[in-house]
Structure 1
Amino acid sequence: MAWDTADQLIVKEHLGLFKAASNYDIYDLDSGEMVLECREPHLSWLTQALRFTDYRRMTPFDIHVTDMQGNLVVRVVRGISLFLSKVKVYDGEGALLGGFEQKLFSIGGAFNVHDEHGRTVCQLAGKWTGWEFKFTANGVELARVSKKWAGIHKEMFTTADSYALDVANNIPPESAIRKLILAAVLCIDMVLKE
């Protein structure tokens, strides 16, 4: 099963009581097969140390998303973030796909999603009353992200989360928007929810 043709994916963060790196596995909901791996392979010792402090949300990240053959599909990069996050997304060949810019005043958390030229292609916005995010462009919903509850023992004693991603089936598999949406799910966790 190819990840880019699946309309429903589950993003599962790895369990860990004391973990510096953010690692995720992505599954196709219909088949249950793992289709992508997301790893932070190059963490400096300083970043690792800061991940265990209140400065965690400010630390840089460089997440590599690979398919099951080990091919790089997407790379999500952010430098040090003092106030608002600006994230860049690259394809497997290193070409800039676009990025995200955190909005200043948003109650539930929000990003503008940009293409490689800096033009806004859609918005990502969350509700302050719950854990749900929507990608919209010109009033049309492109995708929805919601948190999946892992059970009280996992939620209380670990930092692992699981997310369901529903992508509109009219977004073509080769579309850069599909890759940006996938990258944004990781940004929700790294930027807004850690």
Structure 2
Amino acid sequence: MKNISIRNSIQEPPGYLVGPPTERPSNNIPKCFAGNWMPAPLIPNCPSGLEYLTQIDQLLVHQKVELLEAFIGFETKNKYHIKNSMGQKIFNAIEGNMACCGPVRPFNMKITDNEEQEVINIYRPLKCQLCCFPCCLQSVQVTASGIVCGYIEQTWSLCKPKFNVCDSSGETVLRIKGPFCTCSFWGDVEFQVLSRDRDTQVGRITKQWSGLARELFTDADHFGISFPMDLNVNIKAVLLGACFLIDFMYFETKQ
């Protein structure tokens, strides 16, 4: 795979903002740590609630450990903190409704700001999850203030997880490719975010290893997401949706 400048390698696909060239996101995604709320930037003509995303090229997603799950294995609604690379909190996330279908359950993930106002909604419909059958491919829809930002659509693949990142019109703007093995007992698991033509890696979604005890006895996970700084905020929100879908599909159960 070529390792060249993002802007020189491909033309700007739909979903990108025109702006000055930026460096490729760092390979070293920081681990989640405690911090205060990030100050809300004032960005004109930006979808309400997504202003935070204009200032960052990384997100850290930290799932809260639920003691009821850890000790008796009873599944509860997932809750997350979403932070920037400085550890400042940007959003909270909570699973809005929960069906008794384990990791294949549908969900409405509500993303809220520091005033507990919903700014992003990530919806996953109920589908069977069988990798050998194209009719069982998974998807999520991401909306902000009731307006569709885009979609994540799983594509059929026999060996590796693959997804299309689509804009609000359903056009593919980026692609995601996962590893052959998604077991996270001994290290990080990286899903590459690729250009539409698959020639250039422009980011990554990384399931971060959180220690053997946590991996064995809980399904509370840490993720890092990196993307170009000048990526359209709607597509940044869609990549956040991809992170939650990947978590439910591959890491929601104790491995």
Q: Same fold (TM over 0.5)?
A: yes
| Structure 1 counterpart of 2:60, one-letter code | I
* 1:6 is the counterpart of 2:56: yes
Who is 1:58 aligned against? 104
What number of residue pairs does the alignment pair up? 181
Q: Matched residues in 2 for 1:167 and 1:112: separation?
A: 15
Structure 1 pair 74–140 and aligned structure 2 pair: CA distance change class (3 A): farther
Q: Which has more strand, going by share of residues?
A: 1
Who is 2:124 aligned against? 78
Q: Matched residues in 2 for 1:73 and 1:142: separation?
A: 25
Q: Give the percent of matched residue pairs that are identical in Structure 1 and Structure 2.
A: 27
Alignment of 1:88-103 (within 5 A): 88-91=141-144, 93-103=145-155
Q: Secondary structure at the match of 2:229?
A: coil
Who is 1:193 aligned against? 251
* 1:34 is the counterpart of 2:86: no
- Structure 2: runs of 5+ lacking an equivalent: 1-37, 41-51, 129-135, 183-188
Q: Matched residues in 2 for 1:170 and 1:94: separation?
A: 23
TM-score, scaled relative to structure 1: 0.84
Q: Which piece of structure 1 moves more, 16-25 or 74-83?
A: 16-25
- Counterpart of 1:145 (choices 183, 193, 205) is 205
Q: Is the 8 A contact 1:143 1:181 kept in 2?
A: no
The two structures, once aligned, show a CA RMSD in angstroms of: 1.8
Who is 2:33 aligned against? none
Structure 1 pair 100–106 and aligned structure 2 pair: CA distance change class (3 A): farther
Q: Which has the higher contact order (CA 8 A, sep 6+)?
A: 2
Who is 2:131 aligned against? none
Who is 2:76 aligned against? 20
TM-score, scaled relative to structure 2: 0.66
Q: Which has the larger radius of gyration?
A: 2
Structure 1 pair 94–169 and aligned structure 2 pair: CA distance change class (3 A): same
Q: Matched residues in 1 for 2:79 and 2:159: separation?
A: 27
Q: Matched residues in 1 for 2:112 and 2:180: separation?
A: 32
| Structure 1 counterpart of 2:234, one-letter code | A
Q: Matched residues in 2 for 1:85 and 1:129: separation?
A: 19
- Structure 1: runs of 5+ lacking an equivalent: none
| Structure 2 counterpart of 1:107, one-letter code | C
Alignment of 1:154-193 (within 5 A): 154-172=214-232, 175-193=233-251
